A and B are shown apart, each in its own frame.
Chain A
Amino acid sequence: MQGEAVIRVRGLVTRFGDHVVHDGLDLDVYRGEIIGIVGGSGSGKSVLLRAVVGLLEAADGQITVFDESVGDTGSEDYRQLRKRWGVMFQDGALFSSLSVLQNVEVPMREQLSLPTKMREALAAVKVRMVGLPDNAMGKMPSELSGGMRKRAGLARAIALDPEIVFLDEPTAGLDPIGASAFDDLIVKLSRALGLTVFLVTHDLDTLQATCDRIAVLADKRVLATGSIADMQGVKDPWVRSYFGGPRARAAWSGTGAR
């Protein structure tokens, strides 16, 4: 799976006041892979995601996406960069004043100059691709269930056919059936659109079902990367209890490690 690194993080340091979240973190994400970021609560998974997409300023270190630095890029370059990635936030983060279809149209409206009919047609394609029914298009976010909001958030994230999609806890708060349907969706979409997926999760089943590679965050850096099978060999106590616990064994026994 070693190819061109599309995201490269070197020596990342982030801190909130005196609290250091990452201290010298290194990570590479390669084109076309689905990488799962795991770690205990408060280990800075979501903070890492926010730093990579430029929502959070790093105290030190370099983050490049497509060889463009995220931190100190001119606004025009950064705008170009944003066309090439999509972000799905934990609860979808849909704009509450817009319908689902309008939410998906927002990135197209802002970044491109498409004719209205075509924009609507393409947005409708994306809404259907994430498995939402047609009658959901005109609904407001407050009328949707949690799972549907996440799907709509994913539709907005892939609206511009990005090369990288960032997903923050995509299956948190979903029931097991909804969660495994979402796992399938992530794999299917990443194949169909050739996506690189940067996935932050707690969910062992999601890791098992979707990820090509896993990066474990602990002690303020990336402790280990590799496939699920590789994780079994890591000596660190946290990694052992995470990947060797009863829940993990239940997840692996379902389909067998990939």
Chain B
Amino acid sequence: MNSTGQPAADATQPPEIGSADGVFALSGDFVMGGIDRLSLPKDPAQIIDLSGVRRFDTAGAWAVVSLERRAEVVGSRPRIRGASPLQYDLIATLRRYMPVEEASLTRRPGLLDYLERIGRQTVLACSKALSLLGFLGRVIVTVSGLLLRPRRMRWTSMVHHMQQVGLHAVPIVSLMAFLIGVVLAFQGAAQLRSFGAEVFVVELISISMLRELGILLTAIIVAGRSGSAFTASIGSMKMREEIDAMRTLGLDPVEVLVAPRVLALTIMLPILGVIANFAGLLGGALMSWIELGVSPGVFQSRLVSNSDAWHFGVGLIKAPFFALIIGIIGCFEGMEVEGNAESLGALTSVSVVLSIFAVIAVDALFSIFFAVAGV
């Protein structure tokens, strides 16, 4: 504000307060740009004289009201002299709105706040786990209903998602597995050569690839690729109230949106896992040949004679479970999205992190189970 109409190009005069016998004469520019150079006198004022003020804004009114409040502490109420109506109005506004306590408005968090936050987070995490479980139940019920009445199934949507999550992921999954096979052979060769046991590289590659790495790494890539896509697409539908619109039209969003995605993923992830296994073995065989001189013929015969088919089975059994985890978490987080874009972004990243974590945790549980079962 510029109550006297002075162009701001004028050099600003620093604000000054001259005090004599309780009369505080204010002079200069009392504006935000220069108020930090002002030091308020400590002694109480009886009269505050504004006639010498050039420019005056909220910061100036702040100074006047601060002077008033200091005087009120010792019981006097200073008079204001020489203020224009506009300046007086501004001072009145500040009297109403200025915080009484000069203490900092932003409180530093204490130990109790931290404890409270931990408590809140814990409760939140538990209730989220519960509703995730509830969502899993709903999806299972819906999918079994669909299996009993296949005519209700959205086949087009399911095939579309099979293409999206399966076919389109083949190049990246197979390249990833091929490179992992190469790395395993390369690292294994360096270690095994020192024992003269180069030929065991075949077992190293086949067992680790078939049992664990092939399917686990595929699941991680699919979680990053398709889990996030599920959350983003369902979340943006939720944001634009499409989900609510479906409900009012009598369509069940779980049946229309979630079931085709989860089923498509459950069908395609095992297939991707098989492709990854082949690509991994291929990469391993190639590197063994180059690095260790294990010819493809030897590799194949050792693979067939020494690697039990169960290694392949153990890996593949896990695939549908991983697919279910990725699909359920991806769709669940999408349904959790609220009306703004921030929650969409936050939940998409939560979905990826949570599903990768859950896949690895379940993989660990499977390892323990298979070890106990002796497979």
A-to-B contact residues, CB < 8 Å: 4, 31, 66, 80, 83-84, 96, 101, 108, 112-118, 120-122, 124-126, 128-129, 137-138, 142, 160-163, 191-195
Contacts and interface: CB of A to CB of B under 8 A. Distances in A.
30 contacts: A80-B8, A83-B8, A96-B342, A101-B105, A112-B36, A114-B32, A114-B36, A114-B59, A117-B102, A118-B36, A118-B59, A120-B104, A120-B106, A121-B102, A122-B59, A122-B62, A125-B97, A125-B98, A126-B58, A128-B96, A138-B106, A161-B31, A161-B58, A192-B90, A193-B1, A193-B57, A193-B58, A193-B90, A194-B1, A194-B86
B342 A121 contact: no
Contacts of B57: 161, 193
B59 A101 contact: no
Contacts of A117: 102, 104
Given A115-B36, A191-B89, 11 more contacts: A31-B5, A80-B8, A112-B33, A114-B36, A118-B59, A120-B104, A142-B340, A192-B93, A193-B90, A194-B1, A195-B1
B186 to A, nearest CB: 45
A129 B93 contact: yes
Contacts of B106: 101, 120, 138
Given A122-B58, A194-B1, A194-B86, A66 B7 contact: yes
A199 B228 CA distance: 42
Contacts of B33: 83, 112
B239 to A, nearest CB: 13
Q: Please tell me the size bucket of the interface on B.
A: 20 to 34
Contacts of B340: 142
A108 B102 CA distance: 18
A194 B2 contact: yes
B215 interface: no
Contact of A163 (B1, B90, B93, B94): B1
B146 interface: no
For the complex of A and B, 4 pairs with smallest distance between CB atoms: A161-B57, A128-B97, A125-B97, A161-B1
Contacts of A126: 58
Contacts, number: 84
Contacts of A128: 96-97
B181 to A, nearest CB: 44
Interface in B1-60: 1-3, 5, 7-8, 31-33, 35-36, 57-59
Contacts of B93: 125, 129, 192
Nearest to B31: A161
Given A101-B106, A108-B32, A161-B32, A124 B8 contact: no
B99 interface: yes
B89 A125 contact: no
Nearest to A194: B1
Q: From DSSP, what is the main secondary structure of chain B's interface residues?
A: loop
B104 A116 contact: yes
Contact of A121 (B2, B5, B96, B98): B98
A194 B59 CA distance: 15
A99 to B, nearest CB: 8
A117 B105 CA distance: 8
A101 B102 CA distance: 15
A142 B102 contact: no
B313 to A, nearest CB: 49
A234 to B, nearest CB: 33
Nearest to A68: B9
Given A101-B106, A193-B1, A125 B36 contact: no
Contacts of A115: 36
A113 B59 CA distance: 13
Nearest to B93: A192
A228 B342 CA distance: 42
A193 B99 CA distance: 19
B59 A161 contact: yes
Contacts of A192: 89-90, 93
A93 B168 CA distance: 39
A129 B57 CA distance: 14
A108 B35 CA distance: 12
A129 B1 CA distance: 15
Contacts of B97: 124-125, 128-129
Contacts of B96: 128
Nearest to B33: A112
Contacts of B86: 194
A115 B66 CA distance: 15
Contact of B8 (A84, A101, A195): A84
A115 B37 CA distance: 10
A126 B58 CA distance: 9
A120 B105 contact: yes
A34 B26 CA distance: 32
Contacts of A129: 93, 97
Contacts of B7: 66
A160 to B, nearest CB: 6
Most A CB within 10 A of own CB, among B8, B32, B62: B32
Contacts of B102: 117, 121
B55 to A, nearest CB: 10
Contacts of B58: 122, 125-126, 161, 193
A38 B17 CA distance: 47
A125 B89 CA distance: 14
Contacts of A142: 340, 342
Nearest to B340: A142
Contacts of A124: 97-99, 105
